[in-house]
Structure 1
C-alpha cells in the first residue's frame, strides 16, 4: 500500500506542478484484485463512510486524504513521510476510475483498472513536520 500511495502522491505532484494528465494503472487476476481491494489499508471499511484509497467500484470523482482523517492509514503515512518532513504535500489526491478492462472477466482472468489522478481545484498543502501525526520525534 505504501508504494501505491507514494505513486499517487508523485502523480498528483506532476498534475499540479506540470499540468500533466496522469494515470495510475493496477492489474492482476480478478480474484487477487478483489482481495487487494478488501484489505483494511486499501478499503478503510471501518470508517463511516468507508474511504478507500481509490474507488474501484464506480467512476465517480473521489479523493484520497493524506491528512490524518483516515486513522487506519496514519502509521503507513507516517512511515512514508519519515524522510520528507520538510516537503510540501497535498491534503488530498483526486481520482476518477475508468471502466475496468476487460468487462466481466472470470475470477482467474486478468483485469486492468485505470484511474486519472489530479490535483484538487483549491489545493491545500502541509508539511509532515507540522503534523502531530506525522512528525518524527
Structure 2
C-alpha cells in the first residue's frame, strides 16, 4: 500500500523510524492516515491510538483528544511487553497532565497553535512509546 508517497506495511520492523521521519518532515496527516488504517483493522491498536492522540494534541483537537487519551490509558494499561510497560508510566503521566490542562487551555491561542502544528522539524511527541513497542517486536 502506498500512502502519501510512503510505502506502508504493518508487519515491519522500522515502523518507528517511518512514522517519526514522516512526522518530523511535516507529513503529520500521513501519520494520522497510518493511525486510522491501523485502527480500522483493530480498534484497540495501541500504536494507532498513540499516533492519533499525538495528531489530535498537535492540531489542538480539544473535542476529540480527551476521548482518545482515555482510550490510550485503557488499552495501554493492558500491554505488558517489557519496553512498553516501562514507557507507559510516562505516557500516563503526560496524559494525566494534559487532561488537567485541557479545561484551562486559552481559547485565544488555539488558532495560532493549530498554525504552528504544521511546522516541520518537530519530533513525534510520544515517539518514545512507539519506539518501545517496536523494541518489543510489536510491528513484526
- TM-score, normalization by structure 1: 0.27
Task: Determine which structure has the larger strand proportion and give its number.
Answer: 1
Task: Determine which structure has the larger helix proportion and give its number.
Answer: 2
Give the number of the structure whose alpha-carbon radius of gyration is greater. Answer: 1
- TM-score, normalization by structure 2: 0.27
Q: Which structure's relative contact order is higher, taking Cα pairs within 8 Å and 6+ residues apart?
A: 2
